[in-house]
């Protein structure tokens, strides 16, 4: 729930996402679709989507209409029209409605869609994080539904069991430098107070982060969450916990070792999470 003060301002940063009105909406009751043929659409929503038929002409619409129920409090209202049905607004071909299912429901929906002859291949599978699956289905008038599931794999902590990994020498890093490592999927950052190693797996849903030096941030291409050098989310739409860290040690000669098989969860950044380069500085003559 988002709370607003007398001037309509909100302290909840979720409400600052997007460009929409700052209305305290806490849910919705129904979706309404124009359709050309109510019987044809009833068959689709009943037999393919699995909606309950609540009744016809229960709503004061100009055309014949049919109210259908999902297995939530939400309803779908179909209204038959004489004019052409336009499922997308012009230049907005990606407009769709997303339905989230449990893993069991998703499997059942796959079987049902296939049995009715629908193509359920996900042509964007390569852009999804681990554990997220999706399929698109279109109603007889072209309205698009994205049916999605997120399995426990999506938020499971990932380790590759590769053992401790060399991550260069403190001499290789200037303050502010960020280096990304493929084996073990970790990142090393040098800050003013020392070094820290982050897991590259996004804490939202295990997308793999990229460092974007031009924006001074880590970016997850899956759903767009961004993190600063402290590993804290700087995203206004999704609130996620900070990046997980790995133990990092510095030998007397300045060589850095990271153990990506050990994962440390954090609630926030703290200077004490940094490993200072001090010992190595002293050992190498203080020129690092
Ligand atoms: S997996 Fe969703 S933003 Fe990273």
Q: Nearest-5° angle of CA 191, CA 156, CA 122?
A: 110
Gyration radius of the chain over CA positions: 26
- Ligand 1 atom closest to 154 (CA): 1
Q: How many A from CA of 241 to the centre of ligand 1? A: 12
Look at residue 160 and tell me if it is in a domain. no
Summary mean pLDDT of the chain: 88
Q: How many A from CA of 210 to the centre of ligand 1? A: 12
Q: Which of 128, 154, 180 is the last residue of a domain?
A: 154
- Within this chain, do residues 169 and 213 fall inside the same structural domain, yes or no? yes
What confidence tens digit (pLDDT) does each residue in 21-52 have?
556 778 889 999 999 999 999 999 999 999 99
Q: How many A from CA of 148 to the centre of ligand 1? A: 15
Nearest of 169, 157, 129 to residue 261 by alpha carbon = 157
The residue range of the domain holding 106 is 13-154
- Within this chain, do residues 135 and 231 fall inside the same structural domain, yes or no? no
Look at residue 253 and tell me if it is in a domain. yes
Q: How many domains does the chain have?
A: 2
What confidence tens digit (pLDDT) does each residue in 181-238 have?
999 999 999 999 999 999 999 999 999 999 999 999 999 998 899 999 999 999 777 7
CA-closest residue to ligand 1 atom 3: 223
Look at residue 230 and tell me if it is in a domain. yes
Answer for the pair 145, 97: CB distance below 8 angstroms, yes or no: yes
Given a cut of 50, whether residue 154 has pLDDT beyond it is: yes
Nearest of 165, 179, 159, 160 to residue 257 by alpha carbon = 165
Q: Which of 103, 130, 154 is the last residue of a domain?
A: 154
Look at residue 21 and tell me if it is in a domain. yes
Spatial separation of the C-alpha atoms in residues 230 and 221, rounded to whole Å: 19
- Within this chain, do residues 250 and 173 fall inside the same structural domain, yes or no? yes
Q: How many A from CA of 52 to the centre of ligand 1? A: 34
Residues in contact with ligand 1 (CB, 6 Å cut-off):
129, 202, 204-207, 220, 222-225
**What CA dihedral angle connects 155, 96, 3 and 232, to 10 degrees?**
40
Q: Which of 108, 126, 154 is the last residue of a domain?
A: 154
Spatial separation of the C-alpha atoms in residues 202 and 210, rounded to whole Å: 10
- Within this chain, do residues 135 and 180 fall inside the same structural domain, yes or no? no
Q: How many A from CA of 203 to the centre of ligand 1? A: 7
- Within this chain, do residues 191 and 102 fall inside the same structural domain, yes or no? no
The confidence score (pLDDT) of residue 285 equals: 43
């Amino acid at each position: 729930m988002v709370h607003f003060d007398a001037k309509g301002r909100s302290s909840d940063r979720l409400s600052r996402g997007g460009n929409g009105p700052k209305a305290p909406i806490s849910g919705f009751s129904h979706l309404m679709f124009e359709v050309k043929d109510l019987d044809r659409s009833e068959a689709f929503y009943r037999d393919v989507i699995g909606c309950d038929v609540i009744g016809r002409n229960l709503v004061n619409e100009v055309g014949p209409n049919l109210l259908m129920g999902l297995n939530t409090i939400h309803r779908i209202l179909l209204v038959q029209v004489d004019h052409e049905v336009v499922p997308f607004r012009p230049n907005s071909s990606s407009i769709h409605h997303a339905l989230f299912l449990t893993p069991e429901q998703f499997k059942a929906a796959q079987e049902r869609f296939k049995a009715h002859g629908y193509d359920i291949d996900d042509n964007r599978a390569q852009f999804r994080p681990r554990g997220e699956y999706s399929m698109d289905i279109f109603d007889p008038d072209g309205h698009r539904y994205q049916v999605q599931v997120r399995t426990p794999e999506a938020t499971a902590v990932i380790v590759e069991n590769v053992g401790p990994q060399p991550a260069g020498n403190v001499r290789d890093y200037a303050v502010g430098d960020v280096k990304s490592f493929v084996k073990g999927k970790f990142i090393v950052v040098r800050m003013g107070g020392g070094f820290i190693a982050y897991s590259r797996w996004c804490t939202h849903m295990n997308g793999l982060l990229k460092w974007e030096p031009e924006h001074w941030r880590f970016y997850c291409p899956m759903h767009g969450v961004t993190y600063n050098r402290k590993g804290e989310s700087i995203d206004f739409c999704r609130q996620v916990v900070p990046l997980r860290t790995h133990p990092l040690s510095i030998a007397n000669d300045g060589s850095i070792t990271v153990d990506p098989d050990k994962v440390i969860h954090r609630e926030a950044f703290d200077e004490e999470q940094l490993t200072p380069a001090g010992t190595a500085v002293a050992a190498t003559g203080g020129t690092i």
